[in-house]
Amino acid sequence: MVIDYKAAGVDIEAGYRSVELMKKHVQETMRPEVLTNLGGFSGAFSMEKFKTMEKPTLVSGTDGVGTKLKLAFLMDRHNTVGIDCVAMCVNDIACAGGEPLFFLDYIACGRNEPEKIAAIVSGVAEGCKQSGAALIGGETAEMPGFYPEDEYDLAGFAVGIVDEKDLITGKDLQEGDVLIGMASSGVHSNGFSLIRKVFPMTRESLGTYHDGLGCTLGDALLSPTRIYVKALKSIRTAGVTVKACSHITGGGFYENIPRMLKEGTRAVIRKDSYAVPPIFGMIAKTGGIEEKMMYNTYNMGLGMVLAVARDDVDKTMEAARAAGEVPYVAGQIEAGEKGVTLC
């Protein structure tokens, strides 16, 4: 009996086809600084144009999509989760004041289906285009026996740059600064382990249309994470100094907003200052989830919160709108114990 790699469950030819199918998507993300082609052992990126910075500083972010992937499997829709993967990394970089430069993805699967892999990478490429990052490399690992044949995991890593003097650290926060929240596109990519307990995870349930959502439940839940890179760049270009910034991910308001604060400052957010998307009300009502737990798990309609001086509010709002975002004056900074108050 002769056994080869394909008989063991790893199809090398399928891997080659995956690379061919994803090439066109990857090419659309290229920046002039990229020095290597897809298929090499590493990705090279020139730092020449950043020599003019006083103290060029690299910032990085890494994350995955989490159990939101389970919905993609059920709905057999794989072209948006890549946006989520990129968003979770580049939004963190933008929070530090950085410009994302390049991105690498990692896909691990039970069986390499070239068309499915290409669909995933098309989403990654779309996220890269939205953030201005080049997709300079990645890995597709076929792991039979480790993952079910029709499932995969997706994670990524991004590197950005900022001049050290422009890092957003929260050190200059003061009482009276204003909190601007930018609307989310829905649940984004956190809290899906809870969502999968709230709703039946069946094609019928996810495919049911709800008037209150204006779409099916699955469409609402799979809506990709909003990418705020261009908005923050627009705000900087408008001459605004962002004093502090928080990407509202897992842990919601109560965990993430304190991360942007310095000791002696407290964030006060008015819950009625912005529109909460109906998907959150549906999650809370169906699951019988208390309001505090909702704000401690989800973004509740604000994907990014930043603090600016009161005199910069109008410029910030205008710049965010010009970048296609929906901003809200959501609260203010007060003196007090480091933390967040929702009122």
Whether 159 and 186 share a structural domain: no
Domain count across the chain? 2
Whether 333 and 187 share a structural domain: yes
Is residue 145 in some structural domain?
A: yes
Whether 184 and 321 share a structural domain: yes
Whether 28 and 149 share a structural domain: yes
Of 134, 166, 198, the residue that ends a domain is: 166
CATH number at residue 240: 3.90.650.10
Whether 140 and 226 share a structural domain: no
> Which residues span the domain enclosing 160?
12-166
Confidence (pLDDT) at 1: 59
Whether 128 and 256 share a structural domain: no
Of 166, 199, 226, the residue that ends a domain is: 166
Whether 63 and 133 share a structural domain: yes
Is residue 45 in some structural domain?
A: yes
Confidence (pLDDT) at 219: 97
Confidence (pLDDT) at 2: 62
Is residue 272 in some structural domain?
A: yes
Comparing CA positions, the residue from 196, 189, 223, 226 lying closest to residue 287 is 196
SS3 (DSSP) at 225? coil
Is residue 4 in some structural domain?
A: no
Ranges of the chain with pLDDT below 50: none
What token pair was written down for 94? 């933008």
What burial class does residue 80 get, using C-beta atoms within 10 Å of its C-beta: 0-12 exposed, 13-18 middle, 19+ buried? buried
Of 145, 166, 187, the residue that ends a domain is: 166
Comparing CA positions, the residue from 101, 98, 78, 82 lying closest to residue 242 is 98
Whether 333 and 249 share a structural domain: yes
Is residue 295 in some structural domain?
A: yes
Q: What is the pTM of this model?
A: 0.95
Contact 156, 90 (CB under 8 A): no
Confidence (pLDDT) at 225: 98
Whether 234 and 302 share a structural domain: yes
Confidence (pLDDT) at 20: 85
CA angle 315, 317, 318 (to 5 degrees): 65
Whether 144 and 43 share a structural domain: yes
At 173-206, the pLDDT tens digits run: 999 999 999 999 999 999 999 999 999 999 999 9
Is residue 216 in some structural domain?
A: yes
Is residue 1 in some structural domain?
A: no
Q: How many CB atoms lie within 10 A of CB 203?
A: 12
Whether 205 and 337 share a structural domain: yes
Is residue 288 in some structural domain?
A: yes
Whether 74 and 120 share a structural domain: yes
